Amino acid sequence: MRAIPQKIHILKFIGEQEIVTVSDVARHLFQSEKAETVRITMHQLGVAHRPYPGIQNGIWFIDKPELFELLKSYFPDYPRFSVRPVFHDLVQHYLGINSIRTTFERSPRFQIEQWWSEQYIRSLSPEERFSFSNSKIPDAIFAKRKKDGNLQKYYLEFERSEKSKPRYIDILRQYAKMPDISKGSIIYICLTDIIRKKIKRIVKEEFGRGVINHLEEIFQFIDYQELITNKDGDQICLLN
């Protein structure tokens, strides 16, 4: 089996997450104390970066197709990622997803086996895309190892801003039709309590009255600030 250098693991995380910070990558590697080494490696790889207010060393992203080709040479089964523009108004969303992912990965309460980011899902062929259209791709799909050894799949949505009620209903109903859902399969991580209460109310109205087979229990809600405040995730107890 071909050995995979750490620099390729770094490149893989950046490719999947699209926009990262040095500390995001170091946490993903469980090497928070080696952030400077990570920064140097990213620079040597030719990963693009730009300043961003309040973030040491700024934000980093891949803007060279040849870096994705390098990644593909180590992971031939991976979808073919493409360079995408960096939109300033989406940076905080991506960085929030990074914090969620690394917190889950570091939690001693469960083991994350697979993580499919939005970039990963978007790069799949339509037939492989878990029944999602381009306009309704979740922020991530991940699997954790259960006590019986089997994998359980979860769908993740990070809500930084409030959507309209019809938009939420459309998304929630799509999730309710997924073939592999179970209790707690759809996780909403909400930036504010106002957003969390709104979605919970809509879920109650749409799924808690027996209209669609009592599917209220497939949804669960986590407060973003409470999650990331506990950086190692040892208070995460909602992933059944």
Q: Are residues 150 and 118 in the same domain?
A: yes
Q: How confident is the model at residue 127 (pLDDT cuts 50, 70, 90)?
A: confident
Boundary-marking domain end, from 86, 103, 130: 86
Q: How far apart are CA 91 and CA 178, in angstroms?
A: 29
160 contacts 93 by C-beta, under 8 angstroms: yes
Give the highest mean pLDDT range of 61-70, 125-134, 206-215.
61-70
Boundary-marking domain end, from 86, 103, 133: 86
Q: Write the CATH number for 134.
A: 3.40.1340
pLDDT at 216: 82
Boundary-marking domain end, from 58, 86, 114: 86
Q: Are residues 6 and 104 in the same domain?
A: no
Q: Are residues 81 and 118 in the same domain?
A: no
User: Phi and psi of 213, rounded to 5°?
Assistant: 60, 35
Q: Quick check: 1 pLDDT over 60?
A: no
Q: How confident is the model at residue 183 (pLDDT cuts 50, 70, 90)?
A: confident
Q: Quick check: 211 pLDDT over 70?
A: no
Q: Are residues 97 and 173 in the same domain?
A: yes
Tally of domains within the chain:
2
Dihedral-angle region of residue 214 (phi above 0 means left; psi in -120 to 50 means alpha; beta otherwise) = left
Q: Quick check: 234 pLDDT over 60?
A: no
Q: Rounded to the nearest 5 degrees, what angle is found at the Cα of 152, between the Cα atoms of 146 and 157?
A: 125
pLDDT at 135: 64
Q: Are residues 62 and 27 in the same domain?
A: yes
Q: How confident is the model at residue 96 (pLDDT cuts 50, 70, 90)?
A: very high
Location of structure tokens 């309209």: 164
pLDDT at 110: 78
Q: Which H helix or E strand runs over 141? A: strand 140-145
pLDDT at 228: 85
Q: Which amino acid is at 139?
A: D
190 contacts 221 by C-beta, under 8 angstroms: yes
Q: Are residues 119 and 234 in the same domain?
A: yes
pLDDT at 189: 96
pLDDT at 202: 92
Q: Are residues 177 and 236 in the same domain?
A: yes
Q: Are residues 81 and 112 in the same domain?
A: no
Q: Are residues 120 and 55 in the same domain?
A: no
Q: Are residues 148 and 79 in the same domain?
A: no
Q: Quick check: 144 pLDDT over 70?
A: yes
85 vs 129, more confident: 85
Calculate what percentage of the chain has a pLDDT beyond 70.
90
